[in-house]
Amino acid sequence: MKNNNGAIFWFTGLSGSGKTTLASAVAEKLKNNNINVYLLDGDVLRTGLCCDLSFGDKDRKENIRRAGEVAKLFMNEGYLVLCTFISPFSSDRETIRASCPTGKFHEIYISTPIEECERRDPKGLYAKARKGIIPNFTGIDSPYESTATPDLEIDTTCLSVDEAALKFITHFELAIAELDPSNLRKDYV
């Protein structure tokens, strides 16, 4: 019998905002509680399935379309899918939401300000973009469209990774519990 309890949690925000760090912490806590979780990371997808795409608007849209399709495959198998993609266009995120059953897509906006993302600059990308080495860099010379009403908003400048992970889990506890009702109200620390 097919398990229909999967869900997609789409972490969106600027490069360096903390999307992957937060999603990794959430995944670890949930896996420790025997919940089927899959982390689908934008950088990883770009090295394989989407390695043929550039960073122009058309290819960014295709990258997110492919990511959404992969996420739905895992969701349909009962996984809680944590997707970490800049996904700069709100219309792309809404297209994925609309293609999912009601209540199965949750948008998590990591609203860390660009100044903090640039200060962190874990991969040196902002510095390269400012020098013109990386064109079409989101937040510098390519827009990021934030969502007016995300399902959850987290600014990682205000919280530790563990605090942010617990905020996520607390906010989505009912959706997470649908994967296995015995997991409701577990201690995720």
Helix (H, G, I), strand (E, B) or coil at 99: helix
d(CA 161, CA 152): 16
- Tell me whether residue 142 is annotated as binding: no
* 17 known member of a binding site: yes
Q: Is 54 a catalytic residue?
A: no
CA distances from 183 to 99, 108, 120, 173 (A): 27, 21, 35, 9
The response to whether 56 counts as a known ligand-binding position is no
In this structure, the number of other CB atoms found within 10 A of the CB of residue 180 comes to 15
Q: Is 16 annotated as a binding residue?
A: yes
Of these residues, 24, 54, 87, 160, which one is catalytic? 87
Closest residue by Cα to residue 12 from 154, 136, 168, 119 = 154
Residue 124 in marked binding region: no
Q: Determine whether the annotation assigns residue 78 to a binding site.
A: no
- Residues annotated in a binding site for ATP: 13-20
- Residues annotated in a binding site: 13-20
Known catalytic residues?
87
